[in-house]
Every structure is written in structure tokens, then in C-alpha cells.
A = this chain, B = another copy of it.
Amino acid sequence: MMLINGAADDRLEAGDRGLAFGDGVFRTLACVDGAPRLWPWQYACLARDATRLGLPVPGEALLLAELRQACTGLPRAVAKITLTRGSGLRGYAIPADATATRIVAAHAWPGYPEHYAQDGVALTWCTLRLGLQPRLAGIKHLNRLENVLARSDLSDTCVEGLLCDSDGLVIEGTLSNLFVLRDGQWRTPQLDRCGVAGAMRAWVMARLPVEEARLRPADVTEADLLFVCNSLAGIWPVADLDGRRWRDFQPLRPLQWALAQEYAVAATQNRL
């Protein structure tokens, strides 16, 4: 089910700047019984991204109510919140009188295979390199052609690919963030020049002492342990990266356990 500005609808004004220019932001959320997982982190990311683009931030209560409504009849759903600049004149400049569009949609969510989190996933390096744009770095905005191309380059059997920027620094997966452990220190790519700073990344960084750093491919291949994460996948250990293999994921289990606890607590609060 889909709500546009609060009304059940599945069609949008074709003059919307979200379509014309990708002038908007979005979030993808896992919802169980109508309650979004990692909501505090999701909302913080949404508010951060909307603010950076100068879009108004909808209230939490409104979004939670709309998510619940959109998830009606879907015990496990993947929901999407999209905020755009709304309809406007033809030009690039942001109209003074723009009224934002808010889209809340949900679909049934089969989930990922359990063994991804247990046994890890195989990754590959993407050939596409992300352009540098500090003004948009970190934001989950609607300009996602780089992800579309990178994802479409991957074979159907490949779970995820890692992306470097045009300077050759490691940034993220096509739909996940990356964390690497070496000599006892967790690090994740600094996302001040490109990339998407996801809600799961924020949750992990609130749990682990992590350094944001400029990582080279060698920092990844020489890591003792690494994982990718996003709000739907949770935490996936990396078992293989173009032939380089990792097998001991025990050090990750406490973090995966904490995430499962986070989900359980949120679900309990939702029922109260």
C-alpha cells in the first residue's frame, strides 16, 4: 500500500521535482507488524538528509502512523519513505513556494537467506567508481544512477559489490556500508566526499568504537574481519572478496546478537 501526502494513492504528479531532477531523499525500512526497525536511527538519517537538501522534516508521529497504515496486512514488510521537493516550475533553481511531497509505501518482504548472516557472503569489486560530491556525500538522495549501474554490472548470483571513489578509495557496497577490523581496530570509510551514510551504519557506530577513515583496497583485503550492513540485511560477514577468504566470524556474533535484541525490544515496545 502507498500513501502520498497521507492519502492512499499510487500515482504522483508527473511534474514533481523528484522525477525531474531526483530532488529528494528516501529511506528503506524493515517493518515487522507495522513497526519499523531501527526507527530512531532511520528518523535521524531522514531528518539529516532532508535538512541538508533544505526539505522540511515530517514529524515522527505522522511518519510512524503512515508506516503502520501502509503496512496493513503485511506482517513483514519493506517500507520506503520518500520526500521530494514537490511540483515546481521547469528550472533547476529551487522554487520559493515549493511544497514537499511525502510518499510512504510498503511491500511484502521475503527477507534474505539466513545463511548470509551466519556463513557470510561473497563480494566482488565493482569497476564503476563513484564521483566525488561533498555537497551530496552521505545523503540517501534520489540521484542513484551510480548504484543502478554498479548493481547492474554484478552477476545475478553476486550478493554485493564494493565501490571505490574516483580517487580509488573504498567507500561502500552498492546497497550497504562496510566495516573492517584490523589489529583490533574497527574502521569504516569516511563518507564526506561521496557515499550513503545508512541507518544501520549509524547503529553500528553507536555500538562499536569505530574510526571513520580513508581506506584503500589493501586495507580491506588485508583486514582480519569485515562485514557489510544495511537496514534490510542486518549484518553480513564477508566470507569471500574476489578469492580472498575469511572464515572466523565469531568476533561478530556479539554485534549480531545485539542487533537481534534491538529488534526484539522495538517489537515489544510496539505491542505495548
**Interface residues, chain A, with chain B CB atoms under 8 Å away:** 2, 4, 9-23, 26, 28, 53, 78, 80, 82, 84, 90-94, 103, 105, 107, 128-133, 135-136, 141-152, 154, 166, 174-175, 194
Are B152 and A94 in contact (CB-based, < 8 A)?
A: yes
Residue with the greatest number of chain B CB neighbours at <10 A, chosen from A21, A53, A90, A128: A21
Indicate if the CB atoms of B135 and A132 lie closer than 8 Å: no
Q: Contacts A131-B131, A131-B132, A132-B166: A148 and B13 contacting too (C-beta < 8 A)?
A: no
B148 touching A21, Cβ below 8 Å: yes
Q: Is the CB of A10 within 8 A of B21?
A: no
A sample of 14 cross-chain residue pairs with beta-carbon separation below 8 angstroms, ordered by A number, consists of A11-B11, A14-B105, A17-B148, A19-B19, A20-B142, A21-B22, A21-B142, A21-B143, A21-B145, A21-B148, A23-B145, A28-B90, A93-B148, A136-B146
Contact B148 A133 (CB under 8 A): no
Asked if residues A23 and B148 are in contact (CB atoms below 8 Å), the reply is: yes
* A91: contacting residue among B10, B13, B92, B151, CB under 8 A: B151
Asked if B21 and A144 make an inter-chain contact with CB atoms under 8 angstroms apart, the answer reads yes
**Copy total for this chain:** 2
The residue from B16, B135, B144, B151 contacting A20, defined by CB atoms under 8 A apart: B144
Contacts of A94 in B (CB 8 A): 148, 152
Contact partner of A12 (CB less than 8 A), chosen from B11, B26, B91, B128, is B11
Q: What is the CB-to-nearest-CB distance from A252 to chain B, in angstroms, rounded to a whole number?
A: 25
